[in-house]
Structure 1
């Protein structure tokens, strides 16, 4: 299985779009001390899922039953929120969920026209 960070920046799947726009809160070990380093809780309106960034796993039904190559939307959300996977510069910024990266020490990153990335400020 390939990591969400390995997905080409030019490609943006439906799962990645959902990861960027749907309401989700990512919590790390600084807020939930039961989590290990590189382990996250992703809280959504329909459930709470555990993402392990080292093992590249999530306990959601999509990851467990379909195992998408780029990862489920929760794993993608963690990668986007941490800046591990940059947000394409062409996305509609107003569609991005306000919670993206809100509870993490790392910051989301967005691609710039010159091929670099910068911190995404909402």
Structure 2
């Protein structure tokens, strides 16, 4: 399993915030049979994008044309939804999209005050 795109030290970018709060559904090979292992579809109100977690790619315009350091919001959404990238503990849980991790076998994780992580409930 590849490592999630990390945020630059001490930063939580706009793309990461959008990845947590915007309406997106992440599907894997269990829920969408046309995918390979570690490949995901991210369905949004404006389009559907393919994320390859191994190659660390997404076919969205942001990833293709701007190639942000921390990854596009779709790659970040996959990382948060799978629990690869913990959600900072200070994030307002009410603002997190209720679909986060809904269709995956892995669970989103949130950082705790003692520096550990726990499954987001």
Q: TM-score, normalised by structure 2?
A: 0.94
The answer as to whether partners of 1:4 and 1:70 remain within 8 angstroms in 2 is no
The answer as to whether partners of 1:4 and 1:85 remain within 8 angstroms in 2 is yes
Rounded Cα–Cα distance in structure 2 between residues aligned with 1:108 and 1:10: 20
Q: CA deviation at 1:119?
A: 0.2
**Where in structure 2 are there 5+ consecutive unaligned residues?**
none
Query: Which SS does the other structure have where 2:20 is aligned?
Result: helix
Query: Which SS does the other structure have where 1:49 is aligned?
Result: strand
The answer as to whether partners of 2:5 and 2:71 remain within 8 angstroms in 1 is no
RMSD, matched Cα? 1.2
Aligned to 1:78: 78
The answer as to whether partners of 1:39 and 1:51 remain within 8 angstroms in 2 is yes
Rounded Cα–Cα distance in structure 1 between residues aligned with 2:9 and 2:92: 16
The total of aligned residue pairs comes to: 119
Q: CA deviation at 1:5?
A: 3.6
Q: TM-score, normalised by structure 1?
A: 0.94
Q: CA deviation at 1:9?
A: 6.8
| Partner deviation per Cα, 1:9-43 (whole Å, 9 max, x = no partner) | 74210000000000000000001111000000000
Q: CA deviation at 1:7?
A: 2.6
* Residue 104 of structure 1 pairs with residue 104 of structure 2: yes
Query: Which SS does the other structure have where 2:40 is aligned?
Result: strand
Rounded Cα–Cα distance in structure 2 between residues aligned with 1:119 and 1:4: 17
**Where in structure 1 are there 5+ consecutive unaligned residues?**
none
